[in-house]
Each structure stands twice: as C-alpha cells, then as structure tokens.
Amino acid sequence: MLKRVQKLKNGLRGVITIPSDKSISHRAVMFSSLAKGNCVINNFSSGADCHSTLNIFKQLGVNIEFIGKKTLKVESEGKLNHSFTPLDAGNSGTTTRLISGILAGQNFDSTIIGDESLSKRPMKRIIEPLTLMGANIESVDGHAPLTIHGCKLNGINYSSKLSSAQVKSCILLAGLNAEGETTYTEPYISRNHTELLLDYLGADIKVNDSSVTVRPSKLTGKDIEVVGDISSAAFFIVAGLITTKSDFIIKNVGLNPTRAGIIDIVKRMNGQIEILDKHVQSGELVGNIKVQYSENLKGCTIEGEDIPRLIDELPVIAVLASQAEGQTTVKNAEDLRNKESDRIKCLVSELTKIGISITEKSDGFIINGKTKITGNAELESYHDHRLAMSFYIAGLIAEKEIGINGFEWTKISFPEFEELIYKLI
C-alpha cells in the first residue's frame, strides 16, 4: 500500500487520547494468565502484536474473552496446557522472547513460529541465558521457529552485555518457575514494566539499581488498567514540535521513567512540552502531555543510558533532529540494527532521499540541521511500522508530497494512527 502525505497547511490542534501501551498489554495478558483467579484488563491494545500474545494464551488453555471493545476478562487456574499446534507470534518479537521464558519451565513441549520478518530477528540473546538455566531450545541458527522442550530450570546470576527489557523479562519469567533465586543485571536500566507488574501481582521480586532478583512465585489475579503508550505518543510529540501553529494535549500517556527518555530529549533540545495531571495507575506513572510548535530546537547528543529509555522512538527523533539547529549525534544504539529492519541503515537510506543530512555510524547516526525536507520521493518502509510512521511525520512538513510504500505495516502497532492525526488537523 502506497500512502501519500502532503505538507500540513495549518498546525495540529485539539485533544487526543493515546492508545494503550503495547508493552504493558503484552505483559498484562501473559502475567494474568499465569496468575490464579480472575482479572479484568482495561484499555487493552488493539495492535496486531498484542493480539498475537492474546491468541497464544487462549491456545494454551487460558479462558480469555472481550467484555468490551478494549476490555478483557481473564480466568486462569495459574497453569498452562500443552498446545498440539505451533504458537504463532506473527510479527511480535516481544511475544516470542517473553513467552520463551514462560514455556522453558513447563512440563510440555512447544513450538513458536512467526512471519518472515520475525524469523530474521536474533533469539540467541534469550536462548543462551535460558540454556544456562537448564532450558532445552532448538532454533534455526539462533532464529525462530523455536522448539522449546519444557523441563526443570535452575536459577542463575546473569550479567547481560545488553540493556534489553525483552531479555530481562524472559529470564525473570523463567525464574518464576525455577529452582532457587534468579538475578539479572544489565549495563543500564531498561524499561521495567515487568518488574512493576510482577510486584503488583504478588511475585517475590526485588530491584537493586540495574539488578533484579526473583524467586519462585505464585501470582494472584488483579484488575489491570493499561496506560497510554508513550512510544505511540512520540510521533505526535514530534509532529507538534515541528509543524507551525501546533498546540495540543495528548491524554493518558504512560510516563514510566524507564520509558520516558523522549521527554528528556525534547527538553534537552529546547522543545516546548509540559506534563500535566501526573498520577499512578496499576503501578505505572501516567499523565497528560501538552505540546507546542518549537521554532528554536537545538541539536544534542543521545547516548549511553539514554538509549534503552527511547530505543523505539529513535526513528522519529531523527525527524525531529532534522529541524534542530546544529548537530544531533546518536551513539550506542547498535541494537537498532536488530529491529523489524536495520533501522540505522534504512533511516539513512530513506531520509537522505528527502533532503535530510544524515550520516550512518556503526552504532547510530549523525544529523545536521536545520534542514528543509524536500519531499518529492517514494520511501520504503521495509515492513517496519515505526519507520513508516516516522516518514509520515516528515511528510507533514515536506515541501512536496512524499509516498510511503508498505504503510499498511502501521496496523501492527498503531491502527489508530491516521485517525488521530486527522482529529488534530
């Protein structure tokens, strides 16, 4: 599907409510399926990835049903049943990596499959620590499909070279069903939705800076309110900052400090942004974000402990950086190459086509601003939803129309994207 985007004549104005957080939606279904008792999940994500997780746990014998458009009721005995057919994770790396930790300690075997894109993403990062715990996993050269032979696991003390919430969550979930204590340590603190939600549901879990320790635990079902997704809000934050006359509010945005790196970067770049009505909801910080057009954006360096707090937002931050005076440098972000696409290479290739001065580095990129976005080009999405939406935001200020091939991939994570854009136009 080719999506054409033209320059926005007037700014974005009004109020929108951002869709539910996908990371939390995944975990809400998984953890409530492992908990004994009933649970109502409000504001569940409509994205295809989260529905892959939902369908897998139904396949594993958990009674889950919608009792409203975005409300789920989960009834579980706290155990899973063997599925005689493969578990299809679709395009979802989160589903694949997290559920591997859960399935490794079961008393049955499982096979996880996915689409072509998922089958190219690296799984050694979870296979290696799970194997140290005693897991028996077969893969295709470190990629899906994965065949997991359920067996007894032992707790480990694992230090990761990579700050990854997916790897951390996988090992902690395996630790819930392992003998002894499991400790996971990472270089910088990655998003901590797993730790917060496990604690909320009664797990024996302790956090000490960048280390997390979990003991074998039984979870208890509780109602879960899913906050809005800051990764989805990021596209609107950037759109508001770079389109003239914009002034709007995004409601119900999750502000978890381990996820809200984009807020800090926007402030560092002199963007006009304000947080309103902060409060806590099911263990997560949430609030409203007021965004206004910002003419005097400044470049900055994004590196180190910034990266795990905004890894998914870096494609649209690249668009923001093109409208900032001076140089913006992104370092230590080599894991961008292991996403739905090689996001470093693909960003450089496509943004160059529309006049943005961007240079590829092994672990990131450098952007020189402030640049007029010329447009007048067709851009490839590379089957990557975040690239497609980032290019759309660039198109709102391009001098001439741009086309985006494969725009339908946005349905994976954010089917409401265009609807909300139109609401603010």
Q: Which residues pair with 154 in a beta bridge?
A: 179
Q: Across residues 82-89, what is the average pLDDT?
A: 97
Say which amino acid occupies 414. Answer: F
**pLDDT, position 12:** 98
Say which amino acid occupies 210. Answer: S
Say which amino acid occupies 265. Answer: I
β-pairing verdict for 211-214 and 182-185? antiparallel
Q: Grade residue 1 by pLDDT with cuts at 50, 70 and 90.
A: confident
**Which DSSP state fits 92?**
-
Q: How far apart are CA 229 and CA 220, in angstroms?
A: 25
**pLDDT, position 283:** 86
Q: Which residues pair with 4 in a beta bridge?
A: 403
What is the overall mean pLDDT for the chain?
A: 96
* Residues forming the active site: 312
Residue spans per domain, the chain: 2-20+227-424, 22-225
**pLDDT, position 411:** 83
**Does the pLDDT of residue 413 top 80, yes or no?**
no
Q: Across residues 271-282, what is the average pLDDT?
A: 94
**Does the pLDDT of residue 389 top 80, yes or no?**
yes
Percentage of residues in the chain having pLDDT higher than 70? 100
pLDDT tens digits, 400-410 = 999 999 999 99
pLDDT tens digits, 152-187 = 999 999 999 989 999 999 999 999 999 999 999 999
pLDDT tens digits, 7-56 = 998 999 999 999 999 999 999 999 999 999 999 999 999 888 999 999 99
In whole angstroms, how far apart are CA 167 and each of 33, 341, 361, 391, 402? 20, 19, 25, 29, 37
Query: 3.30.160.150, 2.40.30.10, 3.65.10.10, 3.40.50.300: which CATH number matches 22-225?
Result: 3.65.10.10
Residue 216, preceding peptide bond in cis (omega within 30° of 0): no
pLDDT tens digits, 203-255 = 999 999 999 999 999 999 999 999 999 999 999 999 999 999 999 999 999 99
Q: Across residues 117-143, what is the average pLDDT?
A: 96
Domains 2-20+227-424 and 22-225 agree in fold = yes
Model confidence, pTM: 0.84
User: Which residues, 6 or more positions from 188, have their beta carbon under 8 angstroms from its beta carbon?
Assistant: 163, 210, 304, 305, 307, 308
**Does the pLDDT of residue 415 top 90, yes or no?**
no
Q: Across residues 99-122, what is the average pLDDT?
A: 96
Cβ atoms of residues 52 and 15 within 8 Å: no
Q: Across residues 254-264, what is the average pLDDT?
A: 95
**Does the pLDDT of residue 412 top 80, yes or no?**
no
| CATH code linked to domain 2-20+227-424 | 3.65.10.10
Instruction: State the CB neighbour count (10 A cutoff) for residue 333.
Output: 22
Q: What is the DSSP string of 213-246?
A: EE-----B---EEPPB-HHHHHHHHHHHHHSTT-
Q: Across residues 295-316, what is the average pLDDT?
A: 96
How many Å separate Cα 42 from the centre of its chain? 19
**Which DSSP state fits 401?**
-
Q: How far apart are CA 142 and CA 156, in angstroms?
A: 21
Q: Across residues 389-415, what is the average pLDDT?
A: 94
